[in-house]
Amino acid sequence: MPPGMQSPHGPSYDPAGNMQEPGSSGSAFQLPTNLNTNATAFQPKAKLPKLVLPKFRGDIMEWQSFWDSFNSAIHTYPQLSQIDKFNHLHSLLEGQAAHAIQGSTRTDTNYNSAIELLQNRFGKTQNIISTHTDELVKIPACSGDKASQLWLIYDKISINI
């Protein structure tokens, strides 16, 4: 379009979204008039299935998987209050894990303490390594030449390395 002329679709904009004055130089493109330039929220095209978080029962070897899922979906979610996060955490704990925070009253101020207690009890790297080492030592020797027995041993080793 020649300088100084406006598009029949409205004003011209540069690639950064700034309106170009008529007659200004530089390449301009037209923003559709129905485009909301203030929208920042991403609208997914497909509806995702409901996310179901795993329960944690106190197995040290399952802690990191549980924590990564919980951390991503709940702990770092800024719209949830501390008490809501604590309620979600409490609903996902069973057995030893539930007993570990049983003495913590569900309040805003106790949420971070409960997380710290669980991290110290189940998330210590050295304890996780020791548990995996113990599991490797427990693997029985292969008593035959059946492929299924070899695969079972291979799977147990793969899980614990």
Domain ranges of the chain: 1-28, 60-125
pLDDT tens profile 52-82: 999 999 999 999 999 999 999 999 999 999 9
Residue 128, C-beta contacts closer than 8 angstroms, at least 6 positions apart: 60, 61, 63, 64
Tokens of 93: 């704990």
Q: Per DSSP, what are the bridge partners of residue 129?
A: none
Whether the pLDDT of residue 18 is over 80: the answer is no
pLDDT at 3: 47
Q: Output the CA torsion sign for 59, 62, 117, 91.
A: negative
pLDDT digits 0-9 by tens, 26-58: 444 444 455 454 555 666 678 888 889 999 999
> At which residue do the structure tokens 């719209």 appear?
79
DSSP H helices, 47-139, are: 60-70, 82-92, 95-100, 108-122, 125-137
* Predicted local distance difference test score (pLDDT) of residue 88: 96
For residues 41 and 35, give the distance between their C-alpha atoms in angstroms, rounded to a whole number. 13
**Confidence tier at 96 by pLDDT (50, 70, 90):** very high
Task: Give strand pairing partners of 56.
Answer: 93
Task: Please indicate, yes or no, whether the overall pTM of this predicted structure exceeds 0.75.
Answer: no
Could you report the per-residue pLDDT of 118-161, keeping only the tens digit for each? 999 998 888 777 877 877 787 777 776 777 777 777 777 777 77
Per-residue confidence (pLDDT) for residue 38, from 0 to 100? 52
Residue 9 has pLDDT above 90, yes or no: no
- pLDDT at position 5, please? 44
Distant-in-sequence, close-in-space partners of 57: CB < 8 Å, separation ≥ 6:
93, 94, 95, 96, 97
Per the prediction, the chain carries an average pLDDT of 77
154: enclosing H helix or E strand? helix 147-160
- List CB contacts of 127: < 8 A, sequence separation 6 or more: 60
CA 28-31-34 angle, 5° bins? 170
